[in-house]
Amino acid sequence: MHSPTVFVATADLAGQVRGRSVPSDSLDRVLRRGVGWVPANLALSSFGTIAPNVFGSTGDLRLMPDPATRVDIPGTDDDPGVSLLLADQVLLDGSPWPCCPRTFARNALAELRERTGLVVQASFEHEFMAPDLVDERPFSFARHRNAEPFGSELVGLLDTVGLQPENWLPEYGAGQFEITLEPTDALLAADRAVLLKELVRDLARRHGQRVSFAPLLDPAGSGNGVHVHLSLRDAEGRLVLHDPSGAGGLSDLGQRFAAGVLAHARALLAFTAPSPTSYLRLMPCRWSVGGVFLAERNREALLRICPTSTVGAADPTSQYNLEFRAADATANPWLVLGVLIRAGLQGLGESYTPVHVWPEDVTETELAEVPALPRSLDEALAELEADKIVSSWFHPDLLATHLAVKRAELDEVAGLSDRERCARIANAH
């Protein structure tokens, strides 16, 4: 069925997809010239208010859609279809706008390749709650079936639009599900992470259901994370993270890449876990992140060396990857990817000392002295301002706007109880 409209979109600092709709008949023109946009839109909070910002009421941009990102959401008899395209934010002459999050990710990947010859494959794993489909049986076939026909339609839709679904499963929390996509080129993986949430939400809407990707719906309940998997290849296409002789099977290069991420982790969280409720989830004994450390197959590690299998004569090298676990869906995937790549590059370029790889059987007592995560978004923002290396990666206007948006969101929920804050954030995400 012909889609009457095309939605040209970007993702903002609150992880929200925003943009403009145009008639599908004008798509050729829009691909050449883009559509209008406003710098101050970058300052929109997750609650829809504009935070104090450096742009004010002046300035103009263009959203230049990338045709490779196009997904066509099919219509039904009662609900029209729509085409969705992701865009770069550019200046009026078409040159890059230094505050565009997608450009930030692209530039980080380009610098990694120019300086090291390395390219990145990535995948984003999303968890979300479907409160209208609550079933208390974690991982059960019953909950899987209780989600039908939504579940099968979601997998079919993702496959049809080319997002390459890998797993669809009932998770541990009440009404919680996880959807994973196949690893791919890193920028494409981040694009897919942006699109995935909108496809899930739109399909749920068609079924008269609600979904939420918020870090927590209930402070006493299970949380939703976004786990980012990264693998590296050299200029000849060889995977370079795995070395059977290294600690945990991690190569020296991989240890130095990880060292950069860990060294700057407390500042990175201002981008990867940027919600007032993110830090209610990120604490020990919640299977999220219990501290700033690298470990084999430990789900409380900030960076986890994922398991590999030799079943069916599988090659461990091709499966080997690092998983960053301190992210959630209130973050912008392009910024998440960009800060992880730049932190890893910092570890490589400055020859950071390879970090300790904790074995799978490490005890809580042994981990007692590892650095802690920030305990609040306030603390993470302060860490970002104090870390001059991380701050230097951003155009001053982008950094200032991010800080302003996050502090505006903190002000929005100031004085609320943890339960009330969770409800307020869940309603926005």
The rounded distance, in Å, linking the Cα atoms of 424 and 428 is 7
Would the pLDDT of 168 be above 50? Answer: yes
* Residue 208 structure tokens: 């008269």
Q: Is the dihedral of CA 417, 421, 424, 426 positive or negative?
A: negative
Looking at residue 322, what is its pLDDT?
95
The rounded distance, in Å, linking the Cα atoms of 427 and 196 is 18
pLDDT digits (tens, 9 = 90+) for 326-375: 999 999 999 999 999 999 999 998 877 778 898 888 888 888 889 999 99
| Strand spans (E) along 66-116 | 71-73, 82-90
Contact present, 264 and 340 (Cβ < 8 Å): no
Region of residue 309 (left: phi > 0; alpha: psi -120 to 50; beta: else): beta
| Strand spans (E) along 41-114 | 61-65, 71-73, 82-90
In the chain, % of residues over pLDDT 90: 77
Contact present, 192 and 184 (Cβ < 8 Å): yes
User: Mean pLDDT of all residues in the chain?
Assistant: 93
Looking at residue 1, what is its pLDDT?
44
> In this structure, are strands 71-73 and 35-37 parallel, antiparallel, or unpaired?
unpaired
Would the pLDDT of 56 be above 80? Answer: yes
Contact present, 279 and 338 (Cβ < 8 Å): no
Contact present, 275 and 266 (Cβ < 8 Å): no
Looking at residue 131, what is its pLDDT?
83
pLDDT category of residue 9 using cuts at 50, 70 and 90: very high
- Provide the 10 A C-beta neighbour count for residue 10: 25
- Per-residue pLDDT, averaged over 183-188, amounts to 97
What does the CA dihedral 74, 77, 78, 81 come to, rounded to 10 degrees?
A: 20
Would the pLDDT of 49 be above 80? Answer: yes
Considering only CA atoms, which of 236, 254, 265 is closest in space to residue 348?
254
| pTM of the predicted protein model | 0.95
Looking at residue 361, what is its pLDDT?
84
The secondary structure of residue 247, as a DSSP letter, is G
Domains and CATH numbers, the chain: 5-96 (3.10.20.70), 103-428 (3.30.590.10)
SS3 percent helix, strand, coil of the chain, rounded to 5, is 40, 20, 40
Distance of CA 262 to the CA centre of its chain: 18
Looking at residue 174, what is its pLDDT?
85
- Per-residue pLDDT, averaged over 235-241, amounts to 92
The rounded distance, in Å, linking the Cα atoms of 227 and 243 is 23
pLDDT digits (tens, 9 = 90+) for 263-310: 999 999 999 999 999 999 998 777 778 899 999 988 889 999 988 787
Determine phi and psi for 96, rounding to 5 degrees: -60, 140
Q: How many CA atoms lie within 13 A of 95 on its CB side?
A: 2
Peptide bond into 359 cis (omega under 30): no
pLDDT category of residue 136 using cuts at 50, 70 and 90: confident
The rounded distance, in Å, linking the Cα atoms of 116 and 114 is 6
- Residue 293: C-alpha distances to residues 190, 272, 321, 365 (Å): 24, 16, 16, 14
Would the pLDDT of 137 be above 70? Answer: yes
- Provide the 10 A C-beta neighbour count for residue 132: 13
